[in-house]
Amino acid sequence: MTGSSEPFSEHGNWVKGMVGVTVSVTVDGEAMRLGAHGSVAGALLEAGIRRLRASPRDGAPRGAFCFMGACQECAIFIDGRLVQACLVAPREGMSIALAGVP
Amino acid sequence: MNEPRKHDLIVIGAGPAGAHAAMAAAGCGLDVLLLDEQPAAGGQIWRRPSSSRVDNQPVRTQPDLAHGDALRIALAASSVTCAFGHRVWSVSDRYRVDTLGPDGAAAFGARQLVVAAGAHERIIPFGGWTLPGVMGLAAATILLKAEARLPGQKVVVAGRGPLLAAVAAGVIAKGGEVVAIVDRTPQREWLASVPALASQPGQLKQGAAWMLAIALRRVPILFGHRIQEALGTDSVSRVVAEPIGGGARRLLDCDALVVGDGLVPGGDIARLLRIAMRHDRRRGGWVPVVSDLFESDRAGLYCVGDGAGVRGAAMATISGEIAGLAVVARLGRAFDAQRMSGLKQRWRKGQRFSDAVAEVMAPRPADVADLRHDTVICRCEDVRLGEIDGALAAGAVDINQLKHFTRCGMGPCQGRMCGAIIEELLAARLEKTREAVGQWTGRPPLRPVSLGDLVGEFSYGDIPVPEPAPL
Amino acid sequence: MSAPYDLCVVGGGIHGCTVALFAARGGMRVALVERGSLCREASGVNAGTLTMQMTRVALIPYAMRAHAMWASASDWLGHDVGVVVCDGLSLAFTEQEAALLTERAGKRREAGAPIELVDGTAARRVEPGLGPGVMLAGHCRVDGYANAYLTGLAYRRALLAAGVDILEQTPASGVRRLSAGFEVVMAATTLGCRRIVLAGGVWIEPMLAWLDIALPIKVLVNQLAVTERLRPVMRTVIGIASGLLSLKQYAHGTTVIGGGWQARGDRERGGAELMPDRLIGNIRLACHAIPALRDARLARAWAGLEAETADALPAVGPVPGIADAYVCGSVHSGYTSGPYLARLLAERILGRQPELPLFPIDRLLKPAESTA
């Protein structure tokens, strides 16, 4: 289905030139590439990393939930600071640590 | 301590409501500062897609993207001072706004304040809802629209409201599979709301396009159903759907569950400033009590957009403009009275459509009537329903006492994710009104902020210390 | 109206709850009247510090016994408030603070508190998380802390078990003197009692006004803050010689920062509005003492009301000129010493001799008011 009535276009001009670009990062010391656009949380999801931390009492697996900065589930260590991964964009050389997130 | 210099107006939140409030006021010559945590204006609904291109792109075909672009272009062309990347953590005095920005801690002052902080999602808990791969409907919308990413390859879309169809259509367009739509709303309720929805033909047409895309892929729609449980070890792999009120369950294999049950107005700043609020189910929950110019009971404080009651983007822009002009009037500057009356008329006319949509999405007591006792209610602190019931049995009578008894609401999300659900639970269990149950007491910081960023670089001698206690 | 109670306590904070608890265990029939929920004012929102190092010198003997009482809370309270006994350090970073510390620690030590002065190196052995620049420190091996927000539930269970009639969500609007005893007036009913204890914290002043006693009580509006969970970064209770910092990390990882920085508020509105610059100043002290705290995120800040008399000493004892009326509160470091002082008062009310003197309010009243 093509044309202006299509709700979301895979080939919309706003992703031209961005999707496909990746940056090199480390996740818990391991080198990998993440899509350069959007948020770190979205990029990790795309790379198959869904589990970001463990819940405080039960140790249950948790991952990004609201993608708008409200739930705090995606707070992980990015370049040494506890930051919400849904609010920052991936950057070349970024070091991401999931281990040790309280 | 030096108080920051005062702008005429600070607007908190650069979504549809806030941006329009700022532009309306600045257009009449006011000195306006617009603050937002995001890197660009648009809020959640008109979020700027991440891109390396500059903002003044041509208007696009998809309505929300078109609206967002138009907004960002207009804002850039206005005299509004925009401060993006600023996380507001405190509002005090009349009015001081403290933020964490790109250069660290900052403080701003204004004579008048417009709060347009938007809404966040409400999700009714169920077994396994905390599993990775389970995310909100609005969350999936952000992934699809702003990041061009799928929530998963085989997606179950669940909850209530028009966003179900939008997200399902979005997943299909991006090449994913929608395993099923699990809609709490019975089909007859949807059909009953069509006449009211028809009062906004553009929206109706868009909805029809989504439904067509869904039908063409033969996506099963389970009306009057809800998610009973999400299953998986490290992430969701299967979902159990059941008819509300009992009946045959359906097992749905998936790798993502997208679920949302409406929106909750973001009342943090209203609670923090102790302005009068009331509970309005159709508007999503607690909302500030405001005049027809959107002024609260605190002089010079205006509340607009979904944060003041969920009505959608179109109504948000109208409320923002009205408040912006009201501020202009309050500060004794000239404004176009005809424009104001035109806006008020559009507000009145727009009620019918927004009410119809809101009715479908409104929270209902039945939502929490039969949650299981082992369901996690407070995600941040792993507090299950059984513990909440234990605290009520031990004598907790309101939501803040419950917090002391259970730690609900003490975690990083500051009660945002669980608050509306817990209010509903307490009202039902204690047989009390929402007013008697209360809301979380509003306290700073409005969002978690890093201590290191807050304190910055300082030397010990610089810390102004008050007189020490007597010996 | 039913038969009068032996004792009615008005005010359900830690002082009121403790008097009620021990009076009931001593055999009295007790009613406890609280306008909100138990221990939700200062008693539920303070920093939980149990320390000798910020206690007034005159209160040191009480604080030491109170500390022992907290350490054995399982005996008399029976329910968990998360008491931890640990080392405490009061730090001095400047010459001025060192002088202050030397004087204060010295006086407290003379009064019996087990406080030693140590240098920065020794302090860092006690607390490896310390930042640089510590010139001098007061070291007390038996400091500690509790978890204030657990107080309400713990007392509630203990009071119910002791047979106290708890009337929560029940504001008292007045107290009338009868020929023998008192009548406590509430919205929907009244309650008769032979003896009365006014334990209303900052509201002791309006309560005493019901009995035509004018006791000015200053209202302190103390700011506090708590962080999200953080990996373990400290293991002691930390203060600064000036008294402007209290700092501790709980077992579950959160850190509470206090120090008496004043917010905006009053009796009517409570702790209404925090002042951001003061919050940042307080947090700077915390980060200076334990630099690793910079990695934490601030979760919540609030303000609680603390009572203070004109001489900053307790108001605990019989009300002058009014038989069988007592007041209990405004203890200053009330969370530490409150339960012990309240227990002493309960002893007195039960007709026994308390082991240490109380703090009658006669000293704080103008001569005219102290006679019947």
pLDDT digits (tens, 9 = 90+) for B458-470: 999 989 877 665 5
Q: What is the pLDDT of residues C126-136, one digit of tens each?
A: 999 999 999 99
- Same structural domain, B129 and B108: no
Q: Check: CB of residue B441 under 8 Å from CB of residue B269.
A: no
* Contacts with B443 from chain C: Cβ below 8 Å: 274, 300-302
- In a domain, residue B468? The reply is no
> Given this model, what pLDDT does residue B52 score?
38
* Average pLDDT rounded to a whole number, residues C178-204: 96
Number of domains in chain A: 1
Q: How far is CA B449 from CA B43, B186, B458, in A?
A: 20, 42, 18
Question: Which residue(s) pair with B84 in the sheet?
Answer: B36
Q: Check: CB of residue C359 under 8 Å from CB of residue C313.
A: yes
- In a domain, residue A47? The reply is yes
- In a domain, residue B449? The reply is no
- Same structural domain, B188 and B102: no
Q: How far is CA B250 from CA B156, B216, B225, C182, C283, in A?
A: 12, 22, 10, 67, 53
- Same structural domain, B158 and B81: no
Written as one string, the DSSP assignment of C253-306 is S-EEEES--B-EEETTTEEEE--HHHHHHHHHHHHHHSGGGGGSEEEEEEEEEE
Q: What is the pLDDT of residues B118-155, one digit of tens each?
A: 999 999 999 999 999 999 999 999 999 889 999 999 99
| CB spacing of A4 vs B51 below 8 angstroms | no
Q: Is the pLDDT of residue A4 over 70?
A: no
- In a domain, residue B311? The reply is yes
Q: Look up residue C24 and give its amino acid.
A: A
Helix or strand run (H / E) with residue A84: strand A81-84
Q: Is the pLDDT of residue A2 over 50?
A: no
End-of-domain residue from the set B360, B395, B411: B360
Q: Containing domain of residue A61, as a range? A: 27-97
d(CA C223, CA C263): 6
- Same structural domain, B127 and B257: yes
> Given this model, what pLDDT does residue C335 score?
86
Q: Which of B316, B301, B330, B357 is closest to B160 using CA atoms?
A: B357
Q: Check: CB of residue A42 under 8 Å from CB of residue B149.
A: yes
Chain C contact residues (CB < 8 Å to A): 228-231, 252-253, 295-297
| CB spacing of B468 vs C152 below 8 angstroms | no
3-state secondary structure of B59: coil
- The answer to whether the Cα torsion of C357, C361, C363, C367 is positive or negative is negative
> Given this model, what pLDDT does residue B2 score?
64
- In a domain, residue A2? The reply is no
- What are the respective helix, strand and coil percentages of chain C, to the nearest 5? 35, 30, 35
- In a domain, residue A65? The reply is yes
Q: How far is CA B48 from the centre of its chain?
A: 17
Q: How far is CA B160 from the centre of its chain?
A: 16
Which candidate from C229, C295, C297 shows the least CB-CB separation from A56? Answer: C229
- Same structural domain, B164 and B219: yes
Q: What is the pLDDT of residues B181-211, one digit of tens each?
A: 999 988 887 777 666 666 666 777 888 888 8
3-state secondary structure of B112: strand
- Same structural domain, B147 and B67: no
CATH number for the domain that contains residue B240: 3.50.50.60
Residue ranges covered by each domain of chain C = 5-43+150-216+312-370, 86-143+218-308
d(CA B403, CA B165): 36
Chains in contact with B, where contact requires at least 3 CB pairs less than 8 Å apart: A, C
Q: Of A36-40, B208-212, B451-455, which one has max mean pLDDT? A: B451-455
> Given this model, what pLDDT does residue B331 score?
97
Q: Is the pLDDT of residue C358 over 80?
A: yes
Which candidate from A46, A62, A66 shows the least CB-CB separation from B130? Answer: A62
Chains in contact with C, where contact requires at least 3 CB pairs less than 8 Å apart: A, B
3-state secondary structure of A63: coil
> Given this model, what pLDDT does residue B4 score?
85
- Same structural domain, B145 and B219: yes
For C151, which residue in chain B has the nearest alpha carbon? Answer: B404
- The answer to whether the Cα torsion of B58, B63, B68, B71 is positive or negative is positive
Residue pairs spanning A and B at CB distance below 8 A? 160
For C95, which residue in chain B has the nearest alpha carbon? Answer: B461
d(CA B216, CA B220): 11
Q: Is the pLDDT of residue A14 over 50?
A: no
Q: Which of C282, C278, C306 is closest to C293 using CA atoms?
A: C282
- C62: preceding bond cis by omega (within 30 degrees): no
The four Cα atoms C96, C100, C103, C108 give a dihedral, to 10 degrees, of -160
- In a domain, residue A7? The reply is no
| CB spacing of A61 vs B175 below 8 angstroms | no
Residue with tokens 């209770």: C237
- In a domain, residue B444? The reply is no
- In a domain, residue B452? The reply is no
- In a domain, residue A46? The reply is yes
Q: What is the pLDDT of residues C13-49, one digit of tens each?
A: 999 999 999 999 999 999 999 999 999 999 999 999 9
Give percent of chain C with pLDDT exceeding 70. Answer: 98
- In a domain, residue B450? The reply is no
> Given this model, what pLDDT does residue B195 score?
65
d(CA C277, CA B223): 53
Written as one string, the DSSP assignment of C53-97 is TTS-GGGHHHHHHHHHHHHTHHHHT-S----EEEEEEEEE-SHHH
> Given this model, what pLDDT does residue A17 score?
43
- How many other C-beta atoms lie within 10 A of the C-beta of residue B349? 12
Residue pairs spanning A and C at CB distance below 8 A? 14
d(CA C9, CA C20): 6
- Same structural domain, B175 and B277: no
- Same structural domain, B333 and B373: no
- B288: preceding bond cis by omega (within 30 degrees): no
Q: Containing domain of residue B164, as a range? A: 123-261
Q: Is the pLDDT of residue B112 over 50?
A: yes
Radius of gyration for the alpha carbons in chain B, expressed in angstroms and rounded? 23
Residue with tokens 């998963």: B152
d(CA B372, CA B369): 9
Mutate: best of A71, A73, A74, A92, partner B, most B CBs <10 A: A71
User: What is the least distance, in Å, from the CA of B144 to any CA of chain A?
Assistant: 8
User: What is the least distance, in Å, from the CA of A35 to any CA of chain B?
Assistant: 10
Q: Is the pLDDT of residue A5 over 50?
A: no
Helix or strand run (H / E) with residue C151: helix C151-161
Q: Check: CB of residue C305 under 8 Å from CB of residue C270.
A: yes
CATH number for the domain that contains residue A79: 3.10.20.30
Q: What is the pLDDT of residues C57-108, one digit of tens each?
A: 999 999 999 999 999 999 999 998 999 999 999 999 999 999 999 999 999 9
- In a domain, residue A3? The reply is no
Which candidate from B53, B133, B448 shows the least CB-CB separation from A72? Answer: B448
- Same structural domain, B202 and B138: yes
For A83, which residue in chain C has the nearest alpha carbon? Answer: C297
| CB spacing of A57 vs B381 below 8 angstroms | yes
* Contacts with B450 from chain C: Cβ below 8 Å: 294-298
Question: Which residue(s) pair with B250 in the sheet?
Answer: B241
Q: What is the pLDDT of residues A48-94, one digit of tens each?
A: 999 999 999 999 999 999 999 999 999 999 999 999 999 999 999 99
Which candidate from B134, B140, B416 shows the least CB-CB separation from A70? Answer: B416
Question: Which residue(s) pair with A81 in the sheet?
Answer: A78
d(CA A5, CA A34): 32
Written as one string, the DSSP assignment of C180-194 is TEEEEEESS-EEEEE
Which of B 270-329 lie inside 8 A of C, CB atoms?
A: 274
Pairing status of strand B32-36 against strand B81-84? parallel
- Same structural domain, B376 and B428: yes
Q: Check: CB of residue B279 under 8 Å from CB of residue B435.
A: yes
> Given this model, what pLDDT does residue C175 score?
98
pLDDT band of B355, cuts 50, 70, 90: confident
Number of domains in chain B: 3
Q: What is the pLDDT of residues C307-324, one digit of tens each?
A: 999 999 999 999 999 999
- The answer to whether the Cα torsion of B284, B289, B290, B296 is positive or negative is negative
Q: What is the pLDDT of residues B26-68, one digit of tens each?
A: 999 999 999 999 999 999 888 877 753 333 344 445 677 788 8
Which candidate from C56, C284, C298 shows the least CB-CB separation from B445? Answer: C298
User: What is the least distance, in Å, from the CA of C154 to any CA of chain B?
Assistant: 10
- Same structural domain, B114 and B144: no
| CB spacing of C228 vs A56 below 8 angstroms | no
Q: Check: CB of residue B151 under 8 Å from CB of residue B137.
A: no
Q: How far is CA B378 from the centre of its chain?
A: 18
d(CA C62, CA C111): 10
| CB spacing of B62 vs A12 below 8 angstroms | yes
Question: Which residue(s) pair with B119 in the sheet?
Answer: B265
d(CA C263, CA C305): 10
Quick check: A65 contacting B, CB < 8 Å?
Answer: yes
For B411, which residue in chain A has the nearest alpha carbon? Answer: A72
Written as one string, the DSSP assignment of B360-371 is HH---GGGGTT-
- In a domain, residue A89? The reply is yes
> Given this model, what pLDDT does residue B436 score?
94
CATH classification for the domain delimited by C5-43+150-216+312-370, as one of 1.10.10.10, 3.50.50.60, 1.25.40.10, 3.30.465.10: 3.50.50.60
The four Cα atoms B394, B397, B400, B405 give a dihedral, to 10 degrees, of 0
End-of-domain residue from the set B221, B242, B261: B261
Torsion angles phi and psi, residue C266, rounded to 5: -165, 180
Q: What is the CATH number of domain C86-143+218-308?
A: 3.30.9.10
Q: How far is CA A35 from the centre of its chain?
A: 9
- B445: preceding bond cis by omega (within 30 degrees): yes
- In a domain, residue B309? The reply is yes
